[in-house]
């Protein structure tokens, strides 16, 4: 058997073979496929030349044709090939419909800890064939750059966004809180601290976060430079240093583990505008149905989150 001929084997050869096995004659096989009988004969003849042996037994007369042993082996493989083709068709159709394939999402630490677990659990139940991959960065400008160049499909971000080819929805208004050590006199005050008082405190700030720059600019309204004693983009590090008495932190509520008994939260009295969390995508690219569904699910999860926070 000359295997170098096998690359010439085509799907139509196997389709003809399967039809003959099912119908028992060249004529009925041709009818079932919408071919002429001579076309079926040509397909089988070509198949036999390629594999180097007879695949159909032709008894002649009215008797039913059948497959040879080699033909039956090929038929088994043809059924497997057909199953794979059907699966490929379904996968491509699902991908075109947006119900399967990859969905690349940008996120940052606080969203990853508080919003993503519920969001991905619900989304995974509704869209089980979508493979969600996550990219995390402390700098949402970096994530938006990945959206712009097509490496991310959607990304969480802080609104308003920097200029670029983006569209976004607002998901959550995340108010700022002052995180202080448990037992701090600040936690026992009835009146919230003023900006002048806040700017005097030893602050633990963020390193890259855009919102940190906005917070510090608000504090400068009091006429002094904020006292930043340490910077970190890790929320756990910031909270741990506050608990250790290194300083205090003016941070979005979503970044804080409020169950930590070593800290206390002080409301700054609305002097710092809340952080606005959004979900962004490239406005000039088609959003898949899965991406659109993720956006809607994120909106629902964040509405529930805000409701629980307000009731707490």
Token look-up 């995390």 returns: 136
Q: Please report how the helices 37-51 and 11-23 are oriented relative to each other, as an axis angle in degrees rounded to 10.
A: 120
Cα–Cα distances (Å) from 285 to 93, 282, 295, in that order, read 19, 6, 15
pLDDT band at 190 (very low <50, low <70, confident <90, very high): confident
Q: Does domain 104-173+276-311 have CATH number 3.40.190.10?
A: yes
Q: Do domains 104-173+276-311 and 176-273 have the same CATH topology?
A: yes
Do the strands 263-266 and 176-181 form a parallel or antiparallel pair, or are they unpaired?
Answer: antiparallel
In this structure, what token pair is assigned to residue 20?
Answer: 């003959």
Lowest mean pLDDT among 123-127, 133-137, 252-256: 252-256
pLDDT band at 2 (very low <50, low <70, confident <90, very high): low
- Determine the Cα angle at 165 with ends 163 and 253, to 5°: 60
Helix %, strand %, coil % of the chain (to 5): 50, 20, 30
pLDDT surpassing 80 at residue 87: no
Candidates 70, 71, 84, 89; CA nearest to 21 is: 71
Burial-class residue 94 by CB neighbours within 10 Å (0-12, 13-18, 19+): middle
* Residues β-bridged to residue 280: 155, 168
157-162: long-range contacts (C-beta < 8 A, 24 or more apart)? 157/106, 157/277, 157/278, 157/279, 157/280, 158/210, 158/211, 158/275, 158/276, 158/277, 158/278, 159/276, 159/277, 159/278, 160/276, 161/278, 161/280
The full set of domain ranges for the chain reads 3-96, 104-173+276-311, 176-273
pLDDT band at 7 (very low <50, low <70, confident <90, very high): confident
CATH number, domain 3-96: 1.10.10.10
Candidates 264, 280, 85, 269; CA nearest to 166 is: 280
Could you tell me the pTM of the whole model? 0.68
Q: How many CB atoms lie within 10 A of CB 245?
A: 13
pLDDT surpassing 90 at residue 88: no
Q: 176-273 has which fold?
A: D-Maltodextrin-Binding Protein; domain 2 (3.40.190)
- Predicted pLDDT at 101: 79
Q: Please report how the helices 37-51 and 69-97 are oriented relative to each other, as an axis angle in degrees rounded to 10.
A: 110
| Chain segment 10-52, per-residue pLDDT in tens | 889 999 999 999 999 999 999 999 999 999 999 999 999 999 9
What's the half-sphere exposure (Cβ side, CA atoms, 13 Å) at 296? 9
Question: Percentage of the chain with pLDDT > 90?
Answer: 53
Rounded CA-CA distance 211/159 in Å is 10
| Chain segment 221-272, per-residue pLDDT in tens | 767 888 899 999 899 999 999 999 999 999 999 899 989 999 999 988 778 8
pLDDT surpassing 70 at residue 90: no
* Residues β-bridged to residue 178: 250, 266
């Amino acid at each position: 058997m000359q295997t170098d001929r096998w690359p010439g084997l085509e799907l139509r050869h196997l389709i003809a073979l399967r039809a003959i096995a099912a119908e028992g004659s060249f004529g009925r096989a041709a009818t079932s496929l919408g071919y002429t009988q001579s076309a079926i004969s040509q397909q089988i003849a070509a198949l036999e030349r390629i594999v180097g042996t007879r695949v159909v037994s032709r008894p002649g007369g009215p008797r039913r044709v059948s497959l040879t042993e080699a033909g039956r082996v090929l038929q088994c493989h043809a059924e497997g090939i057909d199953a794979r083709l059907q699966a490929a068709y379904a996968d491509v159709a699902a991908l075109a419909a947006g119900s399967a394939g990859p969905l690349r999402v940008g996120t940052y630490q606080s969203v990853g800890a508080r919003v993503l677990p519920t969001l991905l659990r619900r989304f995974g139940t509704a869209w089980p064939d979508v493979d969600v991959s996550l990219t995390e960065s402390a700098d949402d400008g970096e994530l938006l750059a990945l959206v712009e160049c097509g490496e991310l499909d959607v990304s969480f971000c802080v609104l308003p966004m920097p200029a670029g080819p983006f569209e976004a929805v607002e998901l959550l208004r995340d108010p700022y809180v002052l995180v202080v050590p448990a037992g701090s006199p600040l936690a026992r005050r009835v009146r919230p601290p003023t900006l002048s008082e806040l700017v005097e405190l030893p602050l633990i700030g963020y390193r890259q976060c855009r919102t940190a720059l906005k917070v510090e600019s608000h504090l400068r309204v009091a006429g002094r430079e904020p006292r930043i004693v340490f910077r970190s983009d890790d929320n756990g590090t910031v909270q741990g240093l506050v608990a250790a008495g290194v300083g205090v932190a003016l941070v979005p509520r979503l970044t804080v583990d409020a169950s930590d008994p070593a800290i206390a939260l002080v409301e700054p009295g609305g002097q710092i505008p809340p952080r606005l969390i959004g979900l962004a995508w490239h406005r000039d690219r088609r959003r898949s149905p899965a991406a659109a569904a993720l956006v809607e699910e994120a909106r629902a999860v964040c509405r529930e989150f805000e409701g629980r926070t307000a009731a707490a």
